Amino acid sequence: MIDSTSKISLPAVLAYVSLLHIGHLPAVSIVLLFVAAAASFLLARMLQGRRLMLASTCAALVAVAILLSTMEWRSGDTIVSLFLIAGWLKMAELQSERDGLLVWFCGLWGLAMAALWQSPGLSLLTLPIGLGILTWALAGLTNIRPRPMRTLKGAAIALPLTALLFVFTPRITGDLGVLSFALGIPLIIETQAEKERDPMQDGLAMGDLATRSKNDLRVLVATFFGGSGKFHNGPPLLGDIYWRGPVLWTFEEGNWRGRDGWEKRTSRMKGKITHKTLDAELRETGKISVYDVTLFPHRGHWLYAMDFPAAVPPSSFITRDYQLQNLNPVREILTYPMMSFLDYRAGHSLDDETRALALQYPLAENPRTLALGQQLRDKNQTPVDTARAGMAILAEGYKYDKRFTGYDANDAVDAFLFDRREGYASHFATAYVLLMRAAGIPARLIVGYRGGIHLGLTNRVYVLENHAHAWAEIWLDDYGWVRMDPAAGFAKSADKEIDGWGLADALGQPEQQPDQPSQLQDEGLEAADPSRLRAAKPVSAPEDDRSWWERWITDFKSGEQIGLLQSINLKAHWQNLIWVAIGLIAIGTLVTFGFRKLLETRADRRLPDIVKVERWACHQLAKLGSRRRPTEGLRSYLTRIEDKLEFNRDSWSALTSELCTAVYQKGTIRDDFKSRWATLVNMALSAE
């Protein structure tokens, strides 16, 4: 039966946990919590026995039906609400200790869930109070009287192990899908929202990417592999990753579209690049990045890969615009191996059709942009200088805003460049492409994703819809197609997802800091591509202004764990972190037992000689298969052994009598006692 203490402490547990979640749960969950709490008391007073259980079950089913009809069933808020409601309804039929433990575990689980969304400082306040209430309730259920001093002593003993687990438990942030990939578990559940997403098309309005960046639907997960020499070791810096998607050529009335007839497979496969022709297309390459891609369905033909594809997965091909495409639309989760060049020079010549497309300018639109591009051409002697001047124009005086969707004016690019001067990546890239075309430099727009979320302590990168990005490519006869991203500098400070939970952000290193010198050291290309020029400049790491308490206690993240691993020359991976923890626990265990053994040895040295002889004699007798029990007296133990012996009873009686007399009367024993005792024990062993 449940005592009166538990009837007070268990509702206190649920009430405290429910209050912690009130500021976080939706309104429907809060209403159902209050209804369940009131119903538990009313039902307990009005009903008994099976009628009470039936009423509680019906109330729980009604609550489940309401929650599932108004909230997504996979959401954390729904699961937390169900647990708390179940705990309150269980209070109505509280009869046995087992029922109380179920309620107690609901409270414990709710307290743990509250710690996930609370700030670290708030958790330090709420968790001790919650644990105190839970301890009070558990003591009432088990009829155990709390002993504060023993509790404090146990906490002090457990403190070193707790600190060790706090420091070395891998801090991998994310939902269940993220954690499953981080730990190598292929748990993939496609949500309904992801099934209904709008795929990227062979067309783009200037504000489309800003709309796409407002959701966090998953696009792909990339697992990178280590290497050396010509292979990149692990994930690249996130700011260097461009996931190439559709290539757009024609711009009219504020909208981009791809090549004519691009929706037909025959048109897409015209001039395709295969394994045999891939090397001929490339002029020069840097290191190869090797990785696997798990792509979520998007109902398009694109297989996203980092620029520039160095391999062609099965049932796919590379178009003449360097897009990686599948033969069939991606309608289910697809996994494929991939290799890419982060640094490359591609293209030896530009055919007339492509050059005409790359120079096409809508003369009836954006006249001020056209005039500015022509001025850039007249003021600069070479295309490289013109390209750099265009980047310089967009580098200052503009505002990067992911929430900005577009302009209502017909001359949208003019409005962006000269009037509003704010926009998203597609606005910057569109303006740059039109400026270059007006200056006589072939250019095109690339749509895809930039960066991702690097799961700290793993080799995986998550890419979400809010990483949608657009950049430009220009054609320079001496270099081929060159990537130009006028929004890169703005995105570095405005898009926190670029850093994510990755190494660069965790260690406070700049996003564009290079890890290895590029093989592409040509001065002209570096001048043509400002992003490479910025990457080559040493940038001092920003100072960490967090206090010691924030860095190592309340705001302890994977960055500090990565720093610890690197300080002992280990790869920043969660498995290494666990091995270090196991090693430290083993060392601590050995040191603890060694210290305990040392104390016991020192204590044994201070014992009287007769006590040492007594222990030695009992140790010898244990060889006969009968150990002395902890509560067994010496005489009783020797008598029990004597009953098992079938020979030399006179010698045995004399020796045991001598030992007992010395122990109980604090007398002395003969010098040859040990030798005679050992001889007798050996004879008994031989007889067996």
- Only one residue has tokens 């700049």, namely 510
Question: What is the mean predicted confidence (pLDDT) over 147-161?
Answer: 84
Q: How confident is the model at residue 507 (pLDDT cuts 50, 70, 90)?
A: very low
Question: What is the mean predicted confidence (pLDDT) over 668-679?
Answer: 86
Asked if the model's pLDDT at residue 556 lies above 50, the reply is yes
Reported as type and span, the H/E element at residue 277 is: helix 275-281
pLDDT (tens digit, 9 = 90+) per residue, 402-453? 777 666 667 889 989 998 888 888 889 999 999 999 999 999 999 999 988 8
Global pTM reads 0.67
Q: How confident is the model at residue 494 (pLDDT cuts 50, 70, 90)?
A: very low
- Only one residue has tokens 């740059």, namely 432
Reported as type and span, the H/E element at residue 517 is: none
Task: For residues 268 and 322, give the distance between their C-alpha atoms in angstroms, rounded to a whole number.
Answer: 11
Q: What number of residues does the chain have?
A: 688
Asked if the model's pLDDT at residue 465 lies above 70, the reply is yes
Question: What is the mean predicted confidence (pLDDT) over 113-130?
Answer: 85
Asked if the model's pLDDT at residue 512 lies above 60, the reply is no
Asked if the model's pLDDT at residue 388 lies above 90, the reply is yes
Question: What is the mean predicted confidence (pLDDT) over 643-666?
Answer: 81
Task: For residues 327 and 335, give the distance between their C-alpha atoms in angstroms, rounded to a whole number.
Answer: 15
Sequence-distant contacts of 568-576: CB under 8 A, at least 24 apart: 571/226, 571/234, 572/456, 572/457, 572/503, 573/457, 573/458, 573/459, 574/170, 574/172, 574/182, 574/183, 574/457, 574/458
Reported as type and span, the H/E element at residue 470 is: strand 468-476
Asked if the model's pLDDT at residue 554 lies above 90, the reply is no
Q: Which residue has the higher pLDDT, 523 or 242?
A: 242
pLDDT (tens digit, 9 = 90+) per residue, 451-463? 888 887 888 888 9
Q: What pLDDT is recorded for position 183?
A: 66
Question: What is the mean predicted confidence (pLDDT) over 345-361?
Answer: 90
Q: How confident is the model at residue 497 (pLDDT cuts 50, 70, 90)?
A: very low
Q: What pLDDT is recorded for position 542?
A: 47
Task: For residues 597 and 588, give the distance between their C-alpha atoms in angstroms, rounded to a whole number.
Answer: 14
- Only one residue has tokens 């909208």, namely 255
Q: What pLDDT is recorded for position 194?
A: 65
Q: Which residue has the higher pLDDT, 502 or 325?
A: 325
Question: What is the mean predicted confidence (pLDDT) over 650-664?
Answer: 86
Task: For residues 592 and 590, give the distance between their C-alpha atoms in angstroms, rounded to a whole number.
Answer: 5
Q: How confident is the model at residue 355 (pLDDT cuts 50, 70, 90)?
A: very high
554: DSSP letter = I
Question: What is the mean predicted confidence (pLDDT) over 608-613?
Answer: 86
Cα 105 to Cα 52, 86, 126, 207, 319: the distances in Å are 21, 11, 17, 49, 58
pLDDT (tens digit, 9 = 90+) per residue, 212-225? 667 778 888 899 98
Q: Which residue has the higher pLDDT, 561 or 408?
A: 561
Q: What pLDDT is recorded for position 522?
A: 36
Asked if the model's pLDDT at residue 359 lies above 90, the reply is yes
